[in-house]
Amino acid sequence: MNNNISFPATRLRRSRMNNWSRNMVRETALSPSDLIWPLFIIEGENQREDIGSLPGVSRMSVDLILKSAAEAIDLGINCLALFPNTPPHLRDENGSEASNPDNLMCRATHAIKDKFGNKIGVLTDVALDPYTSHGQDGIIDKDGQILNDETASALVDQAINQANAGADIIAPSDMMDGRIGAIRRALEMNNHPNVQIMSYAAKYASAFYGPFRDAVGSGGLLKGDKKSYQMDPANSDEAMREVALDISEGADYVMVKPALSYLDIIYRVKSEFAVPVFAYQVSGEFAMVEAAAKAGMGDRDAMMMENLLSIKRAGANGILTYFAPQAAKILGK
Per-residue DSSP letters for 252-307?
SEEEEESSGGGHHHHHHHHHHH-S-EEEEE-HHHHHHHHHHHHTTSS-HHHHHHHH
State the distance between the two ends of the chain, measured CA to CA, in whole angstroms.
47
Distances (CA, A) of 30 to 33, 61, 141, 313: 8, 30, 45, 9
**329 classed as catalytic:** no
H or E element that contains 239: helix 237-248
**Is 49 annotated among the ligand-binding residues?**
no
Burial bucket for residue 27 (CB in 10 Å: 0-12, 13-18, 19+): exposed
Active site residue 227: no
Which whole-number Å values give the CA distances from 333 to 31, 33, 95, in the listed order?
11, 14, 44
Instruction: Say how far apart CA 328 and CA 187 lie, in whole Å.
Output: 33
**Which member of 113, 226, 257, 270 is catalytic?**
257
Within 10 angstroms of residue 145's Cβ, the number of other Cβ atoms is 12
Q: Which of 203, 226, 270, 312 is catalytic?
A: 203
Distance from C-alpha of 181 to C-alpha of 156, rounded to nearest angstrom = 10
Task: Give the separation between CA 203 and CA 257, rounded to whole angstroms.
Answer: 5
Q: Are 12 and 22 in contact (CB under 8 A)?
A: no
Beta strands 277-281 and 253-257: pairing type?
parallel
C-alpha dihedral sign at 159, 160, 165, 170: positive
Show binding-site residues.
Answer: 242
Show binding-site residues for Mg(2+).
Answer: 242
User: What positions carry a catalytic annotation?
Assistant: 203, 257
